[in-house]
Amino acid sequence: MIELIDLKKYYRIGDITVKALDGVSMKIEDGEFISIVGPSGSGKTTLLDQIGALDTPTSGKVIIDGIDIAKIPKSILYKLRRKKIGFVFQEHNLIPSLTALENVLIPLLPEGIDQKKYERALKLLEIVGLKERALHKPSELSGGQKQRVAMARALINNPKLILADEPTGSVDSKTGQEIVGFLKKLNKEFNTTIIIVTHDLEVAKNTDRIIFLRDGKIDREVKTL
């Protein structure tokens, strides 16, 4: 379970204090599929970064499986992030010089890659419908294919949590529906907790719960089921 307790993230820009998050408290149960929706500047990506331990809060707590992640050493935090959390970003973040298969394998590099891990990466590319494109580089893939490679990469460590920041934002509507369908399948079949940031309410309606943010605060929540 993930619990946020009075989470705040403030930035100083000159003489101005920007309250990116201003007292967010919520719980996300294991196996939930939720979306975070709000206008630009509402704190959506900042919230995702806090949950994913990519940034530290000004105050408040992020608790994952009973662990306050602000209180653990950076070396352990790095391992927690790498083992338990998969990230999917709008811009794919694929390395242009590497093949699709090599991009999927990147999170495993610190531990070394053996035949079993190589086969798992190929299997993940097959699951997302790209096994035949495994040896193609990003420049040879469509936007939707790049996003599916990024999703396979996010799954390579069998994470319990997937954080997806606008995963449909740079693809057409049909491809976006395919990506959301895959996330739903992942959630249902593997009980993976998924948090997706989106500006698209049609995408958000596919999730169990929609969290609306405004000015760094939770404005309201809507259950879709």
Does 90 score more than 90 pLDDT? Answer: no
Domains of the chain: total: 1
Give mean pLDDT, residues 173-180.
82
In a domain, 12, yes or no: no
- Are 149 and 103 within 8 A, CB to CB? yes
Does 71 score more than 80 pLDDT? Answer: yes
Does 170 score more than 80 pLDDT? Answer: no
| Domain interval for residue 105 | 29-56+77-223
The pLDDT, as a whole number, for residue 92 is 79
In a domain, 100, yes or no: yes
Residues 6+ apart with CB under 8 A from 100: 94, 125, 130, 133, 134, 135, 136, 137, 138, 141, 145, 149, 152
The pLDDT, as a whole number, for residue 153 is 92
In a domain, 70, yes or no: no
In a domain, 160, yes or no: yes
Residue 181, burial from CB neighbour count under 10 angstroms (0-12, 13-18, 19+):
exposed
In a domain, 10, yes or no: no
In a domain, 189, yes or no: yes
pLDDT-derived band of residue 178, with 50, 70 and 90 as boundaries?
confident
The pLDDT, as a whole number, for residue 50 is 94
CATH of residue 95's domain is 3.40.50.300
